[in-house]
Amino acid sequence: MTEAVRPEVLISRLTSDNQLWRAKAEARLVQMGEAAVDALIGALQHAHPSVRVHAVHALAKLRSIRALPPVIAALADGENNGAGAIAAEKALIDWGEDAKPALLQAAQAGADPIRARAVRALGKIGGADLKPSLVAFLADPSVAVRTQAAVAIAAVSPTDALRLLAPLLKDSDKWVRYGVAEALARLGSVQARSTLEAARDDPEEQGSYIRFWAEELLDELEELERTGRAVP
- What does the pLDDT average to over 105-133? 96
The boundaries of every CATH 1.25.10.10 domain in the chain are 1-125, 127-232
**Does 2 score more than 60 pLDDT?**
no
- pLDDT at residue 3 in the model: 59
- What does the pLDDT average to over 16-26? 94
- pLDDT at residue 178 in the model: 98
Task: Quote the CA–CA distance of 25 and 55 in Å, as a whole number.
Answer: 10
For 57-95, write each residue's pLDDT tens digit: 999 999 999 999 999 999 999 999 999 999 999 999 999
- What does the pLDDT average to over 201-227? 97
- pLDDT at residue 106 in the model: 98
> Would you place residue 23 in the very low, low, confident or very high pLDDT band (cuts 50, 70, 90)?
very high
Which of 1-10, 96-105, 191-200 is least confident? 1-10
- pLDDT at residue 160 in the model: 95
- pLDDT at residue 1 in the model: 40
**Rounded mean pLDDT of the chain?**
95
Task: Quote the CA–CA distance of 27 and 19 in Å, as a whole number.
Answer: 12
- Which superfamily is assigned to 1-125 in CATH? Leucine-rich Repeat Variant (1.25.10.10)
Contacts made by residues 226-232, CB under 8 angstroms, sequence distance 24+: 229/188, 230/188, 230/189, 230/190, 231/162, 231/187, 231/188, 231/189, 231/190, 232/162, 232/189, 232/190, 232/191
- Which superfamily is assigned to 127-232 in CATH? Leucine-rich Repeat Variant (1.25.10.10)
